[in-house]
Structure 1
Amino acid sequence: MKALTVRTVFSWFRAFIDGSILLGLIVGSSLSALGLLAFIWPSFDILNQFQLLFLVLTVISSIATFLWPYYFPRLRAIAQWILLVPFISSIGVLAPDVTGSFTAPKMDITRVDTASTRALRIMSFNIYLENWDKEETAKSILIYDPDIVFLQEYAPNRYKNVQALKNRYPYQARCKYWRDCTLAILSKYPLSNIQNKKLASNNTRDDVHGRVLSATALVKGYKPLRLHTFHAEWPKPLGEQDLHFSRLDSYIRKDMKRYPDTILAGDFNSSSWSFTMRNFSDQLPLIRHSYFKPTYPTENLRVKRYLWLPAFLSLDHVFSSPSVPVFNLERGSASVADHHPLIADVLIFK
């Protein structure tokens, strides 16, 4: 009788585990599918930020359905049918961005007239406001030797006297205090017309997000190159990020009337496959070059120990005007910070 009771309890426990797994699959599948509604209701787009993670978990779960010893064997087929939902949803959201990384126009640098052009290397890098390792941060930048660096979450008083950066980049556009902005542009070439513009609403007290810092790089013998670095709010609170993007679009359009050769780079806190980023890219008078480049989080566990996952959010982006072609864009690595940097090679003309 005792053995029967133990067996019964174990059976009920197995059935409970099977039911919990099935419920978890239903919830996860629903979240992935709800992301598709962002096409109609933008508030659902926050779910699409995680579609790459949904896809990875779906693949792992699909493999697990063949290995898990179900107490009710029929649940195996049911679980596999349920997992088709997030698989189709994630592929539907991610596919345009993945194909964009292959179909985006690429310049053949071998056919460029070198007498009238010059190649510049740029870097966009969110160095993380709580990162105090100045020397390692400088090394993470200098190892790629960019000509121009766009920095986000930059603490002015912390980094303004880092000698290695001052030596390599004698021209720097930055705010005096971090509550003014946490953005900076470091350059090997003179900078002029520096502007710091607030894009955030008056309802937020966020000092880190919702700013754009602009400057004009003057490379002797070549057209002025307008530079903008930007850090957007997350899609929460709802509507704040949309406001940033709308105001940024208006600002860029107005600025380009004076400076047609333009580069915009920064942390947009919106994955490249999200409907928000697709719509913003389509309306902006610039070309987006950052397709399917997951940059967050890094493997650097000293910064955020709880983020053990590989990069699954493509939050950082590089845009340029058609007159400033980008012929190479790669994701870099960093020994500190919670974002991977983006490094791009661009051409400027006489």
Structure 2
Amino acid sequence: MRNLWLTFRWGLEAAAAALALGAAAAAVGAQGGRWNDKLDLLAHFALIWLAAGAVAFILSWASPSVLRGTLIRLAALVAVLAAGGLILPDFTRPRSPRAEASAPHQVKVVEFNAWNIHSDPDRVAAWIAAQNPDLVVVIEPHPALETRLRQATGLETYSADNIVVAARHPFIRTRVNWDVHDLPGQGFYLNWPVVYGFDGKPFAFVGAHQGWPIPSRRARSEALHLTLTLDTIDRPSAILAGDFNSTQWSFLRRQAEAGIGLERRDRALPSWPARLPMLNGRAFPIPFLPIDHVYAGGLWRTVKVERGPKLGSDHYPLIATLAWDGPVGGDPSRWPGR
């Protein structure tokens, strides 16, 4: 029995060592993403390296050797500190003052990558309707979803560039930037209508779907193109939502956000995976990549941002409630929210 127990402890020690060394190497390597785009890929998985380091630290106490256990704990601490260094800036970055739940002139924004035919359009439309949203962005919609969404919510919809957007009132203008499809690699999608605002002036409500962070050359070109596109609109009043296939732990994402010039309102809110495309859509219990984001200009205050339930897609939806903090005017019957 003693030998069996010792063998079990050796097994835990080996698992702890593998987790600690692997997580430490990945988390430290991810810090090199400041200078190397290939290493920056590791930064997207910061939550994984943090969790692996924490688990390794706990398991290390089962080691039958004081020295080996100490070395494993040191490696685990390196993993936790290096991964934490990637995550911490998202909590310490400057943020605009939040709005109270009772703040006037609010809009509720729903963003969701529906993953095409993998999600039931009736179920998705019913859930969105239950949120009573004012603005909606659905990426990769089921072919029938636009009609179902309009019927279930009563919102005005516009479908283009594999994105459906919806609002309470008819759009003032609609636009699709087809030239982004000339970029190399996976497509980059933009659909941005113009909506009547609380100040009586139009504002841009942009739905976006950007490609993976690899190859990095294409990812950088997409970020630059989005920045140049936003240069043509009034940023302080704009809202941007979509699937960016990129986490805020990434140095490339941080550079892209600096160019976007809008404040990201979600924080450490993983939206992928709900299902794993690589395992025939098998359900996954815990999301670990925050790749769906909601941005807004300086005239909006954040009331709250939440993650929605599983709806059949590999993504979870995001629900962001924003309050207008600018001048008020115009026709109240055309205001975008409540």
Q: TM-score range by the shorter chain?
A: 0.7 to 0.9
Measured on the aligned residues, the alpha-carbon RMSD in Å equals 3.1
Describe how 1:132-151 pairs up with structure 2 within 5 A. 132-151=119-138
CA distance in 2, matches of 1:347, 1:62: 43
Residue 286 of structure 1 is matched in structure 2 by 262
* 1:159 aligned onto 2:154: no
The verdict on how the C-alpha distance between 1:76 and 1:342 changes in structure 2, with shifts beyond 3 A counting, is: same
C-alpha displacement of 1:109: 4.0
SS of the counterpart of 2:147? coil
The verdict on how the C-alpha distance between 1:231 and 1:347 changes in structure 2, with shifts beyond 3 A counting, is: same
Contact 1:324-1:347 within 8 A present in 2 as well:
yes
C-alpha displacement of 1:340: 1.9
Unpaired segments ≥5 residues, structure 2: 330-338
Contact 1:269-1:315 within 8 A present in 2 as well:
yes
The verdict on how the C-alpha distance between 1:234 and 1:77 changes in structure 2, with shifts beyond 3 A counting, is: same
The verdict on how the C-alpha distance between 1:37 and 1:131 changes in structure 2, with shifts beyond 3 A counting, is: same
Name whichever of 54-63 and 122-131 sits farther off: 122-131
Contact 1:168-1:188 within 8 A present in 2 as well:
no
Residue 312 of structure 1 is matched in structure 2 by 288
**Identity among equivalent pairs (%):** 19
C-alpha displacement of 1:251: 0.5
C-alpha displacement of 1:200: 4.8
Of residues 28, 32, 53, the one that matches 1:33 is: 28
Aligned length: 321
The verdict on how the C-alpha distance between 1:125 and 1:189 changes in structure 2, with shifts beyond 3 A counting, is: same
CA distance in 2, matches of 1:105, 1:219: 20
Amino acid at match of 2:82: S
C-alpha displacement of 1:171: 1.5
The verdict on how the C-alpha distance between 1:220 and 1:79 changes in structure 2, with shifts beyond 3 A counting, is: closer
Amino acid at match of 2:184: N
Residue 178 of structure 1 is matched in structure 2 by none
CA distance in 2, matches of 1:126, 1:173: 16
CA distance in 2, matches of 1:346, 1:61: 40
Amino acid at match of 2:123: E
C-alpha displacement of 1:73: 5.2
CA distance in 1, matches of 2:17, 2:198: 65
SS of the counterpart of 1:97? helix
The verdict on how the C-alpha distance between 1:307 and 1:239 changes in structure 2, with shifts beyond 3 A counting, is: farther
CA distance in 2, matches of 1:347, 1:27: 44
TM-score (norm 2): 0.83
C-alpha displacement of 1:201: 4.7
CA distance in 2, matches of 1:91, 1:224: 41
Query: Alpha-carbon deviations, 1:107-134, whole Å to 9, x = none?
Result: 444896x5xxx22211111111242411
SS of the counterpart of 1:92? helix
Contact 1:124-1:266 within 8 A present in 2 as well:
yes
C-alpha displacement of 1:139: 2.2
Of residues 148, 158, 175, the one that matches 1:195 is: 175
The verdict on how the C-alpha distance between 1:222 and 1:85 changes in structure 2, with shifts beyond 3 A counting, is: same
C-alpha displacement of 1:230: 0.5
Query: Alpha-carbon deviations, 1:134-165, whole Å to 9, x = none?
Result: 1111122122111110111124x332332x53
Describe how 1:59-74 pairs up with structure 2 within 5 A. 59-68=54-63, 70=64, 74=67
Query: Alpha-carbon deviations, 1:252-273, whole Å to 9, x = none?
Result: 01233xx752111111111122
Of residues 145, 153, 163, the one that matches 1:168 is: 153
Residue 237 of structure 1 is matched in structure 2 by 215
Amino acid at match of 2:145: Y
TM-score (norm 1): 0.81
SS of the counterpart of 1:122? strand
Query: Alpha-carbon deviations, 1:61-88, whole Å to 9, x = none?
Result: 11111125x4x55322221122122111
CA distance in 1, matches of 2:263, 2:48: 27
